[in-house]
Amino acid sequence: MFTTFLEKLYLGPTPAEEPCAQLGQPNYHEQALKECRAYTRQLARHFGEPPPGARFALSREIHDFGTYFEVVVRYDPEDEAASEFAFRVEDDLPARWDVQAREELGLEAP
């Protein structure tokens, strides 16, 4: 097993149809990290654990207004199974929080 992942696909900080912490708001870093971790666990439940050569990760990005966080899938482009997994995830992201993520984040049922 290797430790260097050569490529990454950005998956967002939360499911696309859910609100997320906004850079510049009070407690942004704490809330954003909580949301990203919940989203990462939801992705693992939805897609299963990534194969060797791929993994879900948190990416810290620099912006003019500060540092923000986003979930990514890192993968070895030389590994066919890892690449297929990463692109399958990118193509079929959940739009909403699942029940477990909602509970984890203390959100009410939709």
Q: Is residue 23 part of a domain?
A: yes
Q: Is residue 87 part of a domain?
A: yes
Q: Is residue 50 part of a domain?
A: yes
Number of domains present in the structure of the chain: 1
Q: Is residue 42 part of a domain?
A: yes
What angle, rounded to 10 degrees, do the helices at 28-47 and 80-91 form? 110
* pLDDT of the residue at 108: 86
Nearest CA-CA partner of 58 in 26, 2, 11, 21: 11
Q: Is residue 108 part of a domain?
A: no
Query: How many CA atoms does the CB half-sphere of 68 hold within 13 Å?
Result: 16
Question: Domain range holding 64?
Answer: 7-102
Q: Is residue 2 part of a domain?
A: no
Mean pLDDT per 10-residue run, the chain (110 residues)?
73 96 92 97 97 95 84 96 97 97 90
The answer to whether the pTM exceeds 0.75 is: yes
